[in-house]
Amino acid sequence: MGGQDREHDAGASYRYQAMTRELIARIEAGHYAEGERLPSVRALMRAHQVSMTTASRVLVELESQGYAFSRERSGFFVQPRPPRTGTTPTTPTPTRTARPAVVSMNALVASLFRAQAGEGQLSLGAAELAAELLPTRALTQAMIKVARASGAEGILYGPAGGEPALRHQIARWMGTRGVVVAPEEVWITEGESGAMGAALRALTRPGDLVAVESPTYFGLLRWIEALGLQAVEIATDPRLGVDVEELERVLETLPVAVIAVNPVFHNPFGGTVPPERMQALIRLAARHRVPVIEDDVYGALSFDSHGVAPLRAHDEAGGVLYCSSFSKTVAPGYRVGWCLPGRWAERLALFPFGGAVLPQRALAVFLAGRAHARHLEGLRALFAGQASRIRALVLEAFPEGTRISDPRGGYVFWVEGPASFDALGFHARARAHGIGIAPGPLFSPTGRFANAFRLSVGRPLTPGVEEAIRTLGRLARGGD
Amino acid sequence: MGGQDREHDAGASYRYQAMTRELIARIEAGHYAEGERLPSVRALMRAHQVSMTTASRVLVELESQGYAFSRERSGFFVQPRPPRTGTTPTTPTPTRTARPAVVSMNALVASLFRAQAGEGQLSLGAAELAAELLPTRALTQAMIKVARASGAEGILYGPAGGEPALRHQIARWMGTRGVVVAPEEVWITEGESGAMGAALRALTRPGDLVAVESPTYFGLLRWIEALGLQAVEIATDPRLGVDVEELERVLETLPVAVIAVNPVFHNPFGGTVPPERMQALIRLAARHRVPVIEDDVYGALSFDSHGVAPLRAHDEAGGVLYCSSFSKTVAPGYRVGWCLPGRWAERLALFPFGGAVLPQRALAVFLAGRAHARHLEGLRALFAGQASRIRALVLEAFPEGTRISDPRGGYVFWVEGPASFDALGFHARARAHGIGIAPGPLFSPTGRFANAFRLSVGRPLTPGVEEAIRTLGRLARGGD
């Protein structure tokens, strides 16, 4: 890229810092009262003649520094509490040298991944619900009921697309998330992995380029590798999502076949992208005629009781292929996911598909009653309630300069150590203490994030877990 | 390929026909008595100075024409019964112009495939057991038992590689098939499709060339397409399997990455490859250092009570990656398959894997008792008993010149019409009469076999099924 782009960005970065400082000064001077509404993104754009990205970043930075809080669809308000400082991860610098990378998880990273499956560990690595948080009784009853009632139908191949009763329940559930679909538009897959694999196979050919968030979920990277695709990393902000301006530059210069994002309760950040940024992403992708794969596997786990609508809910033109599953919320071992293939349904039908019949039927029974809603409510309350305690614990225990993301749903946290922090070495030391974490380089096709890791706390914050976090902090400070 | 090859093959073909005629003349002249042992492959090779392929073909042709029968490990014997004529499919002419083909199942073929999933049909198209042949009671009891006993363990993610109890049972079962493996060497997959996909992902990179049998299972072709691989078709004989001499020429001239075969109860022929031909294939692949993927999904369904050992049982050097599943014998809807990845275990572990936990546990309970052996015995007796009746029905009902394969296990038959027979048009007419079949072009990446189809009779040969076969014959003769 030429010097013009660099200047442009240096200018944007300067303006963003200047605007942030100015607003902080005004808040501290009492120009805006506690709880008062701050200028909207549009107002800032007009007043300062800046892009939407710059304006949004200013507000989000205020929130991240503890000067503001946001309310869905209402904007940003002055935060009454004393400001917290330096606790959210830095936004990765947009890669002005964005280049396609052949994805190949090297032996080290692969071994790290396998190591997480090890037993006898307190796993804060795998994003997985603890056994005590599963709706075991209700699901077991449902499974026994459907096994008895199904007879041979539970043992024969199921219908293409999945069990009709489950497709019906998922269509209903999607409605509560703001997505209106008919049951026949829902396709059952073998977990989230099956959904992502099917989506990628439908939308790409080997050698194609996939624009991915940086950091992104390593399961996506494994599929990209398996299908012989290439990845280009787009800088992604913990609160604003993928950098739409950088993405635009990439779309203009590289033949991107598909964009893969996780806008709601992002893995590994836990943040969610504001609706206007989702709309900007959809418009950009539509303008370049590039389809978007949305991973919404944590979408049901909002800390906020009214929930967050996925990207797909904003997609009027049919540019988003939506993927989700029950693996992070209800029943990982049932291996049931789904996708909404939209206009790509024909392509998806070409490839092997579907999951076991009885787990689908048991889930349909579970979803038909009120148990699902009650179960999700319990998880949300638990995770919302303990998130700030987990953040505080990490910031207390870890060395100076450590940052941690501020999730709005789900149960993963992204922790960034100081620049010198070595996440791979830290992972090995943590393992020796019986604690699993997911080191940062797993989340990048080019091994970025060497000083970061994901912490997954899909379990109640018991004294044992608190102790494990303190142990991690001690190890990070160089202790044994 | 040059003229030399053509001459060479014309010579081999001439010698093979001459030798066959000579032996038939000797048998008819009483030179060999009924039940007497015919010369072995080696004896014919020495006496006539021909290749093993030519010698084997002669004996198999005698068997196919009803002059001989074979006994496992003992050779060929003079058939006492009056000869049947012209009933086995012709061997496809070796493709001396073998060329890699990008696999792309066109819209027509894809729609045919989907059409098979249609309801309200008497499906003789999909290779699927009828509901009444499933071990429904035993499996339902096993499922209820494991759902109760497992609690949260049945709902959590299962261990990498699959449920230990099932891996143990499969290792035991493989022992009865002549393959000695430890439970940890067995990897559970999502059905046969999961096993084949994992095997291909482990052994290839996009663009690689896969040598496939011609005809071959379309599920394999779908994976080859999905993974961006290319296929080269190797002529395959209903009784001798893949043409080892043609395969050798292909290996010498093209960069084949992997060979995929189904030697035992081949889909769509139903035949099985003699042990010496399996050994020849293994030696050839080893010489060229090309791995072999073996699909053995029908392997348990031998008509012969002592069964047939798979290719993997002859593989001492570790060149065969074995795949199988319970989908064709016990529980299609459980989506449980397995592979024996051998020295490729590390590669396989990189990719998404595994299936639902409770179906694996239920199968482990089912396999631990005697129900599995009894169940297989029942299927074998049924399918062995009705195979010749099905062949006779087809030969009676279909037009002059129709040939049908002579399965040794499983429940699929390959029917070849006269050269003018149009399998795609026939498929459409059969569908209009509520009968599904699988047209020949589905079994070739280049749309070969336009005059053939697969008939799957995974059900008792009731008067209704007999009538459907007679209807098919009438349609094939041009009636409505």
CA distance B29 to chain A (A): 53
Q: What does the pLDDT read at residue A72?
A: 64
- For residue B65, pLDDT over 90 is answered with no
Which residue of chain A comes nearest to B131, CA vs CA?
A152
pLDDT in tens, B412-451: 999 999 999 999 999 989 988 999 999 999 999 888 999 9
pLDDT in tens, B200-230: 989 998 889 999 999 999 989 988 988 889 9
CA distances to A73, A85, A439, B30, B101 from A397, rounded to whole Å, are 36, 16, 18, 94, 59
By Cβ distance, the residue of A105, A143, A351 closest to B226 is A351
Give the rounded percent of residues in chain A with a pLDDT score beyond 90. 62
Indicate yes or no: CB of A228 within 8 angstroms of CB of B223: no
Query: Of A39-48, B56-65, B110-119, which has the strongest mean pLDDT?
Result: A39-48
Which residue of chain B comes nearest to A223, CA vs CA?
B351
- Interface test mutation site (partner B, options A156, A208, A325, max chain B beta carbons within 10 A): A156
Indicate yes or no: CB of B226 within 8 angstroms of CB of A201: yes
Residues of B in contact with A327 (CB under 8 A): 157
- For residue B43, pLDDT over 80 is answered with yes
- For residue B328, pLDDT over 50 is answered with yes
Q: Where do the domains of chain B lie, and which CATH numbers do they carry?
A: 3-78 (1.10.10.10), 101-132+374-476 (3.90.1150.10), 136-371 (3.40.640.10)
Residues of B in contact with A334 (CB under 8 A): 155, 356-358
Angle CA A50–A55–A59, to nearest 5: 160
pLDDT in tens, A380-417: 999 999 999 999 999 999 999 999 999 999 999 999 99
Cα gap B437→B456, rounded to integer Å:
8
Which residue of chain B comes nearest to A137, CA vs CA?
B151
CA distance A157 to chain B (A): 4
Cα gap B428→B435, rounded to integer Å:
9
Mean pLDDT confidence for A21-47: 78
- For residue A358, pLDDT over 60 is answered with yes
CA distance A123 to chain B (A): 13
Residues of A in contact with B336 (CB under 8 A): 356
Indicate yes or no: CB of B143 within 8 angstroms of CB of A139: no
- Interface test mutation site (partner A, options B119, B137, B140, max chain A beta carbons within 10 A): B140
By Cβ distance, the residue of B114, B144, B151 closest to A349 is B114
Q: Spell out the residues 6+ positions from residue A29 whose beta carbon is closer than 8 angstroms to its own.
A: none
Indicate yes or no: CB of A155 within 8 angstroms of CB of B139: yes
CA distance A145 to chain B (A): 9
Q: What does the pLDDT read at residue B90?
A: 59
Indicate yes or no: CB of B157 within 8 angstroms of CB of A222: no
Q: What does the pLDDT read at residue A102?
A: 60
By Cβ distance, the residue of A225, A333, A356 closest to B158 is A333
Mean pLDDT confidence for A168-191: 95
- For residue B379, pLDDT over 60 is answered with yes
DSSP bridge partners of A209 = A230, A256
DSSP bridge partners of B438 = B454
- For residue A50, pLDDT over 90 is answered with no
Q: What does the pLDDT read at residue A447?
A: 85
Residues of A in contact with B134 (CB under 8 A): 152, 155-156
By Cβ distance, the residue of A219, A352, A359 closest to B358 is A359
Mean pLDDT confidence for A242-261: 96
- For residue A332, pLDDT over 70 is answered with yes
CA distance A407 to chain B (A): 24
Please give the mean pLDDT across all residues of chain B: 87
Indicate yes or no: CB of B333 within 8 angstroms of CB of A128: no
A148-152, A196-200, B79-83: which has the minimum mean pLDDT? B79-83
A285-299, A350-364, A430-444: which has the minimum mean pLDDT? A350-364
Indicate yes or no: CB of A350 within 8 angstroms of CB of B205: no
CA distance B214 to chain A (A): 21
By Cβ distance, the residue of B119, B335, B351 closest to A226 is B351
CA distance A68 to chain B (A): 39
By Cβ distance, the residue of B155, B206, B227 closest to A134 is B155
SS3 of B356, please? coil
Q: How far is CA B193 from the centre of its chain?
A: 14
- For residue A95, pLDDT over 60 is answered with no
CA distances to A153, A320, B119, B359, B365 from A149, rounded to whole Å, are 9, 37, 21, 16, 20
Residues of A in contact with B128 (CB under 8 A): 156-157
CA distance B23 to chain A (A): 48
- The ipTM assigned to this model is 0.79
By Cβ distance, the residue of B105, B139, B352 closest to A193 is B352
Indicate yes or no: CB of A154 within 8 angstroms of CB of B140: yes
pLDDT in tens, B120-166: 567 898 889 999 999 999 999 999 999 999 999 999 988 889 999 99
CA distance B33 to chain A (A): 49
